[in-house]
Structures are given as C-alpha cells and as structure tokens.
Chains A and B, each alone.
Chain A
Amino acid sequence: MSGILRRNASIAVGAAAVGLVMGLGAAAPQAGAQTLTMAVGAPVTSLDPHYHQLSPNNAVADMIFDRLVNTDNLSRMVPGLAVEWRAVEPTVWEFKLRPNVRFHNGNPFTAEDVAFTIQRVPNVPNSPSSFAAYVRPIQGVEIVDPLTIRLRTATPSPLLPLDFTNIRILDRETHQNATTEDFNSGRAAIGTGPWRVVQHRSGDRIEFERNDNYWGERPAFQRVNYRMITNDAARTAALLAGDVEFIDQVPTSDLAKLRADQRVTLSEITGLRLIFIGLDHLRAPNENSPFVTDNEGKPLGRNPLRDVRVRRALSLAIDRQAITQRVMEGAATPAGQFLPEGVFGHVPELTAPRPDPEAARRLLAEAGYPQGFRITLHSPNDRYINDSRIAQAVGQMWTRIGVRTAVEAQTWATFIGRAGRQEFSAHLIGWGSNPDGSHPLRNIIATANRERGFGASNRGRYSNPEVDALLEQSLVEMDEAKRERIVQQAQRIAFEDVAIIPLHIQTNIWAMRRNLTHTPRNDELTRAQDVRPAAAAAAR
C-alpha cells in the first residue's frame, strides 16, 4: 500500500513541476486572517432570493440582501430595512423605511423597491417553492413618501410583519428584468446586505467580499469563502485539517470527539424544529387503519388511533430523555409541544410527558386492548438527524407496552409522497416552525382546507373544530397579548387530545476553530455575519 502511495506522490510532484516549468502554476488564494472559510452541509441551489423557499438559500440571501423586518438569533423581530412598523388601521400596515441605504451598485433604497419586490415575489418563473403565500394577503400598496409605505389587506393581518421576515428586498431598477439565471451568475446578485458576491460556483462555493457601505454592524472579515461539503465526515475532517474554519450541521456521532478537541469549539442553541409522530386520524373509529392489525396479523376492524386513550398510552410509553441522551447524544431537548421556551405561543405547562409504561398499559386495557395490537411506524432515513434510529427506539418502547411495532425506514423521496397520501398509520416526521405558535397550528393541526390554506402538512388528518375556531380567531386578532392567549389555548386543546406525539426539539450545532466565535441562530441559518474572531468578540 505505502509503496503505491509513495509512487503516486512522486508522480504528482513531477507533474506539478512540469506545470510550473510551463509557467502554468497559479498562486493559490491566500487564506489570511481577513478571509473566513466556512463549509455548509446543504447545497445552495440559487442566489435568487425569491426562487426557492429553502433554508440554505435563505441563509445566503441573508448575506446578500436585507429584509424589511429582520430576525435576531432567537427569531424575534428587529428592525431591518424598515425602522418601525405599525397597524394604522386593522387592515393597513405602515412601514417606515431606513434612510440612506444603498444597494451594492450604489442605487438608493426607497419605497419603490419594496413595491417592486411585492410585485415580483409571486411571479418568479418555474419556482419549485415560491414565497407567494407571504404577500398573498396584500390587496393594495400605497407609497406615502419615498420612505413610507402602506400595505392594505382584506382582513386584519396581525402576522404581516412576520411574513415580511421571509421576503428579501430587491432594487426595482436593477432587477426589473432579472431572471433567476442572472442571479445565479452573480450579475444580478445585488442587494443591500453586508456581503457582495464575488463569484458563485453552483453546488461548490460562493465567494463574498465585505460591503463596506453596509448600514448595519460591519462584518468582521474582508472576504468569505462559503463552501458546500455535503458529506458529514468530510466536512468534519475539513475542519480538523484546518481547510475550513467553520462548519454547520455537525453530525451527532462526532460531537464527543469535537468537544474533546482543543483546536475547535462548538456553538449550540435549541432550535425550532420538532421531531414528532403523526397518527392516522383519517380512518373512522370503525374502519381499519392500513398498518394496524391484531396480534395475529388480522385486521382489527377498528382504528385504535382514534381513541385518545390509545394515543396517550403511545405517548406515555416513550422515554424521551433516553432518546435525546443516547440516540441524539444530547443534541436535542425532550418536548411536549411545538415551540421551545421564549417563543411566541409557547405554553409553559405543556412539558415533555414523563415515561410511564405502567399507566400506558392501563390506558390500553381501558381502551379495550389489554393484549395490545401490532403497528408499523414509518420513518424517513435521510432527512432528520438520526431519524431512523429514533424510530427504532420508539418502536422498542411501544413494543414494551404491548404494541408490537415494526419500523420501516425509507428514503425521503418515497416517504413524503406516501405520507402526503395518508398511506401510513404512524409516521415519524419533523417540523421547523416560524417563531409564532399559529404557524404549526395552521399547518399541522388545523383541519385540511384548501381554500383557507389550512392543514397543508396535516398528514395524519387530525381535525378538531374547536382548535380550528381558535386558530381563525387568532389570525385576525390585532392585540398581541390576546392573540398569544388564543394560540396557547388552541395548543393546549390539541396536545391534551394528543393530535400528534411530540418527541424532541433539535439543537442546532456549529463547530469552528478556537480563534472564532459565533452567535448561534435557532432558525438554523448559517451566515457569515454571525461569525467573528474570538478576541474581537471578547473586546466588544
């Protein structure tokens, strides 16, 4: 082996020498202290901020562009290109814009650009997932003066400012006819954000340089090399080798090793992504659920999952602490609801249920299943951190209370289509919430309703008129305190009824060389402006 390697090495050295002699050798880009090299685990597919609603794209869009309303690292709304916003009437929001902001090409930022952006968002050709829903409530746009804009909606829209945390603002003059390809080539990737695009090599890397005229806090680095290394082991190795100084999506299996390594340090924060189990609420109590049978493998003739006692038993059977500690290596928090503490709509008393197999067995017996039944738990195996291993752990815990569980893990591409057609009895899935309790309620818990846009991800087809009514009420309630109480009440009802079985909320983890420091974000975005030299951060 070593003989072969040595031989190859000398060949390559020879070839390199030939390259030099021929005058073709080029200087490598010098990675000085002024350049930050980071590696992300998910590829960025486009630099067009309105083309594809996808976290990696949004992170990069955050580096190039700005939003009217920004979010801080805990996803709280903070002024961005708008310095303040208020509802002047229940159906009219007014945004005061930041003065003296310029795009990278020198064009001034005005209300015209906001109006243009609102008009472009729903009209990006071929978009596989557009941002149109965020501007759909807007019925009219009124430019009061160059730095004031009013947006009119049909019904009161308390969530409009939150919707605007998803929209990056473009320049009317520059982007009038810009196509997605123009953005990808870098030609139209011009925003007001802290970084300018120098070069974009799709699927490989994006090179940025600092925008010295940025209105906000000045980034710490002159240049950024934003690389995409999708293989987990290779990404960690690149950090350890010093080829990159910062990585995201640290695999849980590497956590122990990295924590012990003197050269690197980690930054972590509880995220907004809940891993949960969805149950079949579609089949009526007297129908068969597709993957539930009795212990002999024969149809049951009824759907036990429609009995709240069975759902409660399944939830009580799960030792969430064991899953987060052993399977997730500590990179998750047991959960009893969608949102972590500190986020709008979090319900203080909904803590993660304690495991109680005895009580679970009793509940099953009460519901008429003293001997349990058989069920298949479906799970993706390439989507969430340790997804199929979590499903296996849950399967064992369910089997322990007499619900003999088979786990079937499959690739996301197959899984998600089947889940969407309600083919499963129980499925493990995740949900990344916007920082507002109404968001998961509307998408996961509300009765599926195309006209209202409710329950689009309600793959178990849970339906509770009481929850729906509260949700409707919250969506037009302009008083924030009242609105939070309504959202909390709706969640109390849903989780009391075990609409879904929450498991844990993931922890977002980044790793970096010791000389860097990072402000971790609960929305999982990996942005260069959140990284600083450790010494500079200490001085601040």
Chain B
Amino acid sequence: MSVYLLRRLLQAVAVVFAMSLIVFVGVYAIGDPVEILISPDADQMERERAIAALGLDLPLWEQYFVFLGKAVQGDLGRSFVFNEPALRLILQRMPATLELAFGATIMALIVGLPLGLYAGLRPDSPVSRGIMAGSILGFSLPTFWVGLMLIMVFAVQLGWLPSTGRGPTREFLGMQWSFLTTEGLRHLLMPAINLSLFKISLVIRLTRAGVRETILQDYVKFARAKGLSPNRVIFVHVFKNILIPVVTVVGLELGSTIAFSVVTESVFAWPGMGKLIIDSINVLDRPVIVAYLMIIVLMFITINLLVDLTYSVLDPRVRLESKGT
C-alpha cells in the first residue's frame, strides 16, 4: 500500500513539473502580458518600468528558474493583475467552485441513478424511452445556451430565482460558503442545474447500461431463484456491481467540473476559480494560470487515487499493490 502511494506521489511531482514548464512556455508564446495590462497612453519609459517590475525583462529560462526556486518554498508568485499571491487568490475562490461542483454532482447522482435504474429495469416502457431521449438532450445542448435559457425563463420571465451571482455567505471551516443560507441556495440552484444536466445524462446512461448487463448474469438469476425479494436483488446484488463504472466516471467528472466549470461560472457570474482562470488567460496573468493548473493536476491525481481506493472497497478482488506493479 505505501509503495503504491509513494509511486503515485512521485508521478504527481513529475507531472506538476512538466505542467509548469509547458504553461510557462505556452503563455510566453501567446503574447506579452505587459502589452495587455499597460494603459494605452503609457510612454516607452513606463513600459520598460512595468516589464522590469513584473520580472519579464529576464530571459525565459531565467524567469522559469526564479519561479521554480520560489515554488519549492511554497510561493507560486504574485498575480500581475491583483498583486496578491496567486495561490491565495485561487484558494479564496475555491469554495464557490467546490459548492457548485458538489451541488451538481449530488444532483446528478440523486436524479441520474434512479432514472437510470428504472430505464434499465423496464427498457421497453414509454417512460424509459422518454428518459433516454431526455438524456440525449442533456448531452447535446450546449451549456452556455441552456444557462441563458434558464436565466430567461426562471429569472426574467417567472422571476422565481435570482439571475446571476452568488448569495450571501457564512463561514464554515474557515472558508466562506453560500450553501448555508437560503438565499445562497437560491443563487446556487440554477448554475448547479446547468452544470449537472450533462452529468445526469451520463449517470442515467451508465446506470442503465450496467443494469441491463448485470441483470442477465448468473448470480442475479441465482439470487432470484433463491427467493430473495426483488428489492434486495436490485439494491444489493445489482446495484453494488454497477457502481464501479459510475464511481469512476463521476469521480473524474467531479474533477473536470471543479477545474473547468468556466462556461457556467461566466454565464452566471459565479465568482469561482473557473471565472478567475478565464479572466487570467485573457490578460495572460501567468502566475495565476500556472498556479491554477498545478493545483488542478494535484487535484486530479488525488481524485484518481480516491477512485482507486473506492474500488477496493466496492470490489474486494481489486488489490492496490498488485495493480501498481
């Protein structure tokens, strides 16, 4: 087990290094942040001062080594735009994104699992066909369009929900969360739905496919023949076995939701990390982009690890040690 974890850790460090280098060179290739940040009427002297102030007068490799030197001490640099530590900026906005991503994922499971189960057990009923048709919509409608439609219908036409933004927050575990207030939940609802539509469809399809496959297996027939109640057969024998693919996909999806809920966050003016990263890319705020992607890499590695650990709980045949070799 510990060998396995150590190996994972080394992998993580290597990927983070590679990532920082790629992003450094990539952002350098896109353009010059000073050209974007500087006031149009700045004269040549002011431009030179700004370039030096942001440390962009050094050759690229030197900038990279300065960055590395500080990074190993836990300093990922200061944002060019906000003049605040990049790491702190990202962490400040993390709760907003986390509650959105978890809200969407929980919704996906609560809605998707029962619907998928139903569609899997009664594949020919009209309701099941309706569910499957709906899931195609969930897959194919673009997020920004659905988001705007939700706003038009529920905020502009009906006036039930606030159109954009995050509600009032409360402190919990040292961070500001909005799901602890009713007004906050009202603000959370639409963006979370928007983000979850794709996931709901995914969970429905995965669950349905799993059920269709498992229900024909010998052990299920045997359980039935044994005289177990249908509920026990479905929720213990079938359900447990279809959960492995669902857990994998939902886990990875959670990661990408946290990392890349950019569209939903900008449509709903949700002050999360996704909005920060897109704003930062627009102005080539390199310290924030690098720090963000490094955090995301770490997060994905952690999630993958958790998914693997969950496997071993769900399926005793999976042994982590042997998997590592």
Chain A residues in the interface with B (C-beta under 8 A): 1, 3-5, 7-9, 11-12, 15-16, 19-20, 24-29, 39, 43, 45-46, 48, 51-54, 125-130, 132-133, 180-181, 184, 201-205, 227-231, 233-235, 237-238, 240-243, 382, 412-414, 416-417, 420, 431-432, 434, 439, 443, 448, 450, 453-454, 456-457
Residue of B nearest to A431 (CB): B40
Which chain A residues border B166 with CB–CB below 8 Å? 204
Which chain A residues border B46 with CB–CB below 8 Å? 129-130, 132-133
In the complex, which of the residues B138, B162, B185, B283 contacts A15, with contact meaning CB atoms closer than 8 Å?
B185
Assess the B40–A432 pair: CB atoms within 8 A: yes
Residues of B276-294 at the interface with A, using a CB-CB cut-off of 8 Å, are 276, 279, 282-284
Most buried by B among A12, A229, A416: A12
| Besides the known contacts A24-B170, A128-B50, A237-B164, 7 further A-B residue pairs in the complex with CB atoms under 8 A apart | A8-B193, A27-B183, A28-B182, A126-B80, A204-B165, A450-B43, A456-B43
- B105 on the interface (CB 8 Å rule)? no
Give the distance in Å from the alpha carbon of A453 to the alpha carbon of B47 in the complex.
10
Knowing A184-B82, A443-B41 are in contact, say whether A128-B271 is a contact too (CB < 8 A).
no
Assess the B111–A128 pair: CB atoms within 8 A: no
What are the 4 tightest A-B residue pairs by CB atom distance, in nearest-first order?
A453-B43, A204-B271, A53-B39, A28-B183
Question: Majority SS of interface residues in chain B?
Answer: helix
In the complex, which of the residues B40, B43, B82 contacts A46, with contact meaning CB atoms closer than 8 Å?
B82
In the complex, which of the residues B37, B43, B167, B186 contacts A128, with contact meaning CB atoms closer than 8 Å?
B37
Which chain B residues border A416 with CB–CB below 8 Å? 31-32, 35-36
Give the distance in Å from the alpha carbon of A271 to the alpha carbon of B243 in the complex.
60
A186 nearest CB across to chain B (Å): 13
Assess the B269–A231 pair: CB atoms within 8 A: yes
Assess the A243–B165 pair: CB atoms within 8 A: yes
Q: List 25 A-B contacts (CB under 8 A).
A: A3-B130, A8-B111, A19-B179, A19-B180, A19-B185, A25-B182, A45-B82, A128-B50, A128-B54, A128-B81, A129-B37, A130-B50, A133-B42, A133-B45, A180-B84, A184-B84, A234-B266, A237-B152, A237-B163, A241-B162, A243-B165, A417-B31, A439-B41, A450-B45, A454-B43
Which chain A residues border B168 with CB–CB below 8 Å? 26, 28-29
Give the distance in Å from the alpha carbon of A1 to the alpha carbon of B137 in the complex.
8
Which chain B residues border A242 with CB–CB below 8 Å? 159
Residue of A nearest to B88 (CB): A181
Which chain B residues border A448 with CB–CB below 8 Å? 44
Give the distance in Å from the alpha carbon of A7 to the alpha carbon of B107 in the complex.
10
- B38 on the interface (CB 8 Å rule)? yes
Query: How many positions in chain B have a CB within 8 Å of any CB in the partner chain?
Result: 77
Residue of B nearest to A51 (CB): B83
Interface flags for B34-78 (1: CB within 8 Å of A; 0: not) read 111111111111110110011000000000000000000000001
Give the distance in Å from the alpha carbon of A241 to the alpha carbon of B283 in the complex.
31
Give the distance in Å from the alpha carbon of A39 to the alpha carbon of B268 in the complex.
13
Knowing A204-B271, A237-B151 are in contact, say whether A12-B185 is a contact too (CB < 8 A).
yes
A238 nearest CB across to chain B (Å): 5
Which chain A residues border B279 with CB–CB below 8 Å? 43, 203, 230
Residue of B nearest to A55 (CB): B39
Knowing A237-B155, A457-B40 are in contact, say whether A203-B271 is a contact too (CB < 8 A).
yes
Assess the A456–B42 pair: CB atoms within 8 A: yes
In the complex, which of the residues A125, A126, A420 contacts B35, with contact meaning CB atoms closer than 8 Å?
A420
Assess the B38–A128 pair: CB atoms within 8 A: yes
Residue of B nearest to A414 (CB): B31
Give the distance in Å from the alpha carbon of A11 to the alpha carbon of B197 in the complex.
15
Give the distance in Å from the alpha carbon of A231 to the alpha carbon of B164 in the complex.
10
Which chain A residues border B283 with CB–CB below 8 Å? 413
Assess the A243–B35 pair: CB atoms within 8 A: no
Residue of B nearest to A45 (CB): B81
Residues of B172-208 at the interface with A, using a CB-CB cut-off of 8 Å, are 179-186, 188-189, 193, 196-197, 200
Assess the A3–B39 pair: CB atoms within 8 A: no
- B101 on the interface (CB 8 Å rule)? no
Residue of B nearest to A443 (CB): B41
Which chain B residues border A29 with CB–CB below 8 Å? 168
Which chain B residues border A443 with CB–CB below 8 Å? 40-41
Which chain A residues border B45 with CB–CB below 8 Å? 133, 450, 453
Assess the A7–B156 pair: CB atoms within 8 A: no
- B310 on the interface (CB 8 Å rule)? no
- B245 on the interface (CB 8 Å rule)? no
Assess the B134–A229 pair: CB atoms within 8 A: no
In the complex, which of the residues B89, B93, B110 contacts A11, with contact meaning CB atoms closer than 8 Å?
B110
Residue of B nearest to A128 (CB): B37
In the complex, which of the residues A11, A128, A237, A456 contacts B148, with contact meaning CB atoms closer than 8 Å?
A237
Knowing A8-B193, A204-B271, A231-B266 are in contact, say whether A25-B181 is a contact too (CB < 8 A).
yes
Give the distance in Å from the alpha carbon of A132 to the alpha carbon of B48 in the complex.
12
Knowing A202-B92, A234-B163, A450-B45 are in contact, say whether A1-B151 is a contact too (CB < 8 A).
no
Give the distance in Å from the alpha carbon of A16 to the alpha carbon of B283 in the complex.
38
Give the distance in Å from the alpha carbon of A234 to the alpha carbon of B93 in the complex.
20
A424 nearest CB across to chain B (Å): 14
Assess the B183–A413 pair: CB atoms within 8 A: no
Assess the A241–B193 pair: CB atoms within 8 A: no
Assess the B31–A413 pair: CB atoms within 8 A: yes
In the complex, which of the residues A28, A45, A126 contacts B53, with contact meaning CB atoms closer than 8 Å?
A126
Most buried by B among A16, A51, A439: A16
Assess the A180–B83 pair: CB atoms within 8 A: yes
Give the distance in Å from the alpha carbon of A431 to the alpha carbon of B39 in the complex.
11
A160 nearest CB across to chain B (Å): 16
Which chain B residues border A228 with CB–CB below 8 Å? 269
- B113 on the interface (CB 8 Å rule)? no
Residue of B nearest to A43 (CB): B279
Assess the A4–B37 pair: CB atoms within 8 A: no
Residue of A nearest to B40 (CB): A457
Knowing A180-B83, A230-B269 are in contact, say whether A203-B275 is a contact too (CB < 8 A).
yes
Assess the B31–A241 pair: CB atoms within 8 A: no
Give the distance in Å from the alpha carbon of A27 to the alpha carbon of B138 in the complex.
34
Give the distance in Å from the alpha carbon of A446 to the alpha carbon of B82 in the complex.
33
Which chain A residues border B107 with CB–CB below 8 Å? 8, 11
Give the distance in Å from the alpha carbon of A453 to the alpha carbon of B262 in the complex.
40
Assess the A127–B185 pair: CB atoms within 8 A: no
Knowing A1-B137, A203-B271, A203-B279 are in contact, say whether A456-B44 is a contact too (CB < 8 A).
yes
Give the distance in Å from the alpha carbon of A173 to the alpha carbon of B156 in the complex.
48
Assess the B41–A434 pair: CB atoms within 8 A: yes
Assess the B151–A413 pair: CB atoms within 8 A: no
Knowing A202-B89, A413-B31 are in contact, say whether A129-B163 is a contact too (CB < 8 A).
no
Assess the B271–A24 pair: CB atoms within 8 A: no
Give the distance in Å from the alpha carbon of A240 to the alpha carbon of B35 in the complex.
36
In the complex, which of the residues A4, A26, A231, A240 contacts B183, with contact meaning CB atoms closer than 8 Å?
A26
Residue of B nearest to A180 (CB): B83
- B14 on the interface (CB 8 Å rule)? no
Assess the A234–B269 pair: CB atoms within 8 A: yes
Which chain A residues border B134 with CB–CB below 8 Å? 1, 3-4
Residue of B nearest to A453 (CB): B43
Assess the B35–A127 pair: CB atoms within 8 A: no
- B258 on the interface (CB 8 Å rule)? no
Knowing A4-B111, A26-B168 are in contact, say whether A240-B156 is a contact too (CB < 8 A).
yes
Assess the A9–B30 pair: CB atoms within 8 A: no
Which chain A residues border B242 with CB–CB below 8 Å? none
Residue of B nearest to A230 (CB): B266
Residue of B nearest to A37 (CB): B165
Knowing A130-B46, A130-B50, A201-B271 are in contact, say whether A243-B31 is a contact too (CB < 8 A).
no
